[in-house]
Every structure is written in structure tokens, then in C-alpha cells.
């Protein structure tokens, strides 16, 4: 199996569309992580009773975030995908956040996307199209999830697809700069 973090993301900046890889499916308490050393998905942890991923969670290949991992993305879709599933998505925004662990704070944004092959979310083009109650639930999930792992998570802003695209472009540039792009 090839290193999935180096798979093409087929970024289309005009449509804000790309390909992502699912690590943890919607409704799952198991947190799966991709391990590029073994080129496999492993169990990274278990969420506390009563806490599960509200939507599919994954990463965008050929990108690099400030935390040293590929950009994180939460995907709105009707049904859960499978671990390792390749999905076509449209970036609709970003939940900008600071994450603190052991007194050290880093930026750890969560890109938000809608699955391209979704009937329910086909008209969602921006976070402005999502009910506030859903945004509040996502924020609460990330706060609770990080707290269960001994980290503090603070949302510092919510922005639409243009900001998400700028973060995507920066993530691609950082990936190339760090030499993780292969060629």
C-alpha cells in the first residue's frame, strides 16, 4: 500500500474541492490514525462513553498543518464512510482553533467540508449554510474530545470557504517546503 499522506489531493481552488482520506467514521468511538511508517490505520484511542464522532473525520493528503500532520477535515455526509475511504469533498469553511497541551499552544484548525456525493448537503457551499446548532455541536465535540485526551481546545474563529482555501494552499505549500512531497 502506498503512503496515503502522499496521495494526490486533486485540489481545485475555484470549486474548493479536493480528495480526502477518512480516518474515523461518523458515529465511531474508536479514534483511528493513519501511520505512514506502516502504511496502515491503527487504533489511536477510544473516546469516553457517550462521546462519538458526529461526522466522518480525516485528513487531506499532500498537506501539512502547524502540528506537523496533514490538515484535518470533518465531513458532513448522511452515512458514515469506512476507515481509509477516499472521498471527494467541497471545503465549506474552517473552525480556527488553538490547542494547548503541557502548557504549549499550537494552532490546530479543523477544516469543514461537505461530501460531493451527498443529497442532503449538495447545497451547502459555506459554513453560513449550516444551522448554528450544528456548528455549536461540532465545537462542543472538539472541546470534549480534546479534554478527554488531556488537551485544551479553544475555537478562535469560524470562517467560510475562502479562508479554508487559503489554509489549504498554505498546507500544500508547507508540504512541498518540508520535502514531504517526494519529488
Domain of 145, CATH number, reads 3.90.80.10
Domain range holding 59?
A: 15-171
Positions of the chain with pLDDT under 50: 181-183
List, for residues 64-103, the tens digit of each pLDDT value.
998 889 999 999 999 999 999 999 999 999 999 999 999 9
Residue 8 domain flag: no
Classify strands 110-115 and 71-76 as parallel, antiparallel or unpaired: parallel
The dihedral built from the CA positions of residue 113, 119, 121 and 124, taken in this order, carries a sign that is positive
Residue 60 DSSP class: E
Quick: pLDDT tens for 170-180. Answer: 999 999 998 76
Instruction: Assess if residue 3 is contained within a domain.
Output: no
Assigned domain for 75 exists:
yes
* Domains: count for the chain: 1
Asked if residue 127 is part of any domain, the answer here is yes
Q: How far apart are the first and last CA of the chain?
A: 19
Measured distance CA(105)–CA(169) in Å, rounded:
23
Amino acid at each position: 500500500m502506498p503512503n496515503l499522506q502522499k496521495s494526490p489531493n486533486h485540489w481545485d481552488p475555484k470549486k474548493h474541492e479536493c480528495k480526502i482520506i477518512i480516518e474515523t467514521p461518523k458515529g465511531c468511538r474508536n479514534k483511528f490514525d493513519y501511520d505512514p511508517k506502516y502504511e496502515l490505520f491503527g487504533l489511536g484511542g477510544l473516546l469516553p462513553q457517550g462521546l462519538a464522532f458526529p461526522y466522518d473525520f480525516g485528513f487531506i493528503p499532500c498537506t501539512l498543518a502547524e502540528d506537523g500532520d496533514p490538515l484535518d477535515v470533518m465531513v458532513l455526509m448522511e452515512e458514515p464512510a469506512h476507515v481509509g475511504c477516499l472521498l471527494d469533498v467541497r471545503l465549506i469553511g474552517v473552525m480556527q482553533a488553538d490547542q494547548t497541551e503541557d502548557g504549549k499552544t499550537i494552532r490546530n484548525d479543523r477544516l469543514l467540508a461537505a461530501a460531493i456525493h451527498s443529497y442532503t448537503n449538495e447545497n451547502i457551499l459555506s459554513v453560513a449554510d449550516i444551522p448554528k446548532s450544528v456548528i455549536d455541536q461540532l465545537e462542543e465535540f472538539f472541546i470534549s474530545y480534546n479534554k478527554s485526551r488531556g488537551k485544551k481546545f479553544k475555537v478562535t474563529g469560524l470562517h467560510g470557504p475562502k479562508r479554508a482555501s487559503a489554509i489549504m494552499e498554505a498546507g500544500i505549500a508547507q508540504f512541498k517546503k518540508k520535502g514531504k512531497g517526494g519529488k
